Structure 1
Amino acid sequence: MHENSPKSLRQHLLKQRSAFAAEQNYAQIQANLIEHLNQLLADQGDYWESLALYWPIQDEIDLRSTLLSWAKNNPDRSLTLPFARPDKHLNFYQWRQGDKLLPSKHGVPEPDPNNAARPPINPDCILIPCVGWSSSVVDGKTRYWRLGYGGGYFDRTLAELRKKNPKLVCIGVGFDWQKLDDAQWSAQTHDEPLDMLLTESELLR
């Protein structure tokens, strides 16, 4: 059973994710999740010109090679990585394999915002790693929610970007075992919902 405070819950989940990544069947679980991602890209990838990924840290699943393949299939497609602003919002800059990245204060490799060859882009789709996740029914519709690292960067950014682009698609990336019930954690009023949730079992919409 997870502790009730968000901080201790995150610590427990991150420790559990580290142990999970060391298990023998982890490679197959990763492959299953990436298979669902490939199916999503085959079904909907032509609708997106720019897709935001994350640089994996702390045993987050690595989707880079899959997304690089998606981008290489069409010269009009681009990948972006987030850059954390001092006001705790994110900007997204174009990223290509081999680009030099800068370490953020959180230890996450980020694009150089002063690199004129890599312009800022508002992505059409954002993939967001989850520390934990939950679902709830709102007005007869199932919504999915992300428990992150606690900084609030993605929630602030999604609220801002959705005003500019109502068609923005936000996809959480996690594992089945990370699902939380209301006794463990529930979304707050400032939390932004996810449009989809990708796990090793399925793509939840």
Structure 2
Amino acid sequence: MPEQQPLSPAQRQQRQQLRRQLRQRRRQLTAGQRRRASLRTGPALARALQHRPAHHIALYLANEGELDLMPAMSHPRLHHSSTYLPWLDPLRPGHLRFRLWQTRHPMRPNQYGIAEPALLKRGRALWALDVILLPAVAFDRAGYRMGMGGGYYDRTLADLARRPRRPRLLAVGYDFQCVEEGALPLAPWDQPVDQIVTAGSE
């Protein structure tokens, strides 16, 4: 893991520019391109997981052009898994917790307008999850990802360093979001993932 130094003003600007460019490209995908990419995600996740446990999976609901994971959950490797969604932890600002979720459960928007479970269904400790599927704006082959800039996932995942058990971390997105190693300026808080899973947009 490279030693992470504070970002310079030029690096911060580079990250912001890259985030704007890739978010715009993601929003410009057609409905057909999104659907085809989503259908390819299930087999790609199954290959990435191989024979590892996947009984308890944390995922995200697609927002602002993110790769939609819902079709992937019907894959034979995944459709028996219990699924969990992130919600903003009211007791630890800036952190996430994960609640059990099913499609029939009611949802409500959080402070950012992103849907999260409305019912106080049981959650699962971060370390007790088998897999966490993380959204990303950009990522590199070294396993570093760049999110939307709020730092929620990075702060939450930093807690895993103190645990003897940890879930498998997979960043998910479109092929074009994967940049060359070294092209993504690393911030001191960036948490690497175990693997990148991509789906083409064509």
TM-score in terms of structure 2 length: 0.79
**Contact 2:34 2:67 (8 Å CA) reproduced:** no
> What is the CA–CA distance in structure 1 between the aligned matches of 2:42 and 2:54, rounded to whole Å?
18
**Contact 1:71 1:79 (8 Å CA) reproduced:** no
**Contact 1:170 1:195 (8 Å CA) reproduced:** yes
User: % of aligned pairs identical?
Assistant: 27
In the TM superposition, residue 44 of structure 1 has moved relative to its aligned partner by 3.0
**Would the alpha carbon gap of residues 78 and 30 (structure 1) be closer, same or farther in structure 2, given more than 3 Å must change?**
closer
In the TM superposition, residue 23 of structure 1 has moved relative to its aligned partner by 7.3
In the TM superposition, residue 31 of structure 1 has moved relative to its aligned partner by 2.9
List runs of 5+ in structure 1 lacking aligned partners: 136-142
Aligned pairs for 1:122-133 within 5 A: 122=125, 123-133=129-139
In the TM superposition, residue 27 of structure 1 has moved relative to its aligned partner by 3.8
**Length, aligned pairs only:** 183
TM-score in terms of structure 1 length: 0.77
> Where does residue 193 of structure 2 map in the other structure?
194
SS in 2 for 1:144: coil
> Where does residue 84 of structure 1 map in the other structure?
88
> What is the CA–CA distance in structure 1 between the aligned matches of 2:26 and 2:59, rounded to whole Å?
20
> What is the CA–CA distance in structure 2 between the aligned matches of 1:55 and 1:23, rounded to whole Å?
16
> Where does residue 35 of structure 1 map in the other structure?
43
> Where does residue 7 of structure 2 map in the other structure?
none
> Where does residue 139 of structure 1 map in the other structure?
none
> Where does residue 8 of structure 1 map in the other structure?
17
Aligned pairs for 1:1-205 within 5 A: 4-19=13-28, 21-22=29-30, 25-40=33-48, 43-44=50-51, 47-67=53-73, 72-73=79-80, 77-86=81-90, 87-112=93-118, 115=120, 118-122=121-125, 123-135=129-141, 143-181=142-180, 184-200=183-199
Higher mean C-alpha displacement, 123-132 vs 59-68: 59-68
In the TM superposition, residue 146 of structure 1 has moved relative to its aligned partner by 0.6
List runs of 5+ in structure 2 lacking aligned partners: 1-11
Higher mean C-alpha displacement, 181-190 vs 123-132: 181-190
**Contact 1:4 1:185 (8 Å CA) reproduced:** no
Higher mean C-alpha displacement, 171-180 vs 94-103: 171-180
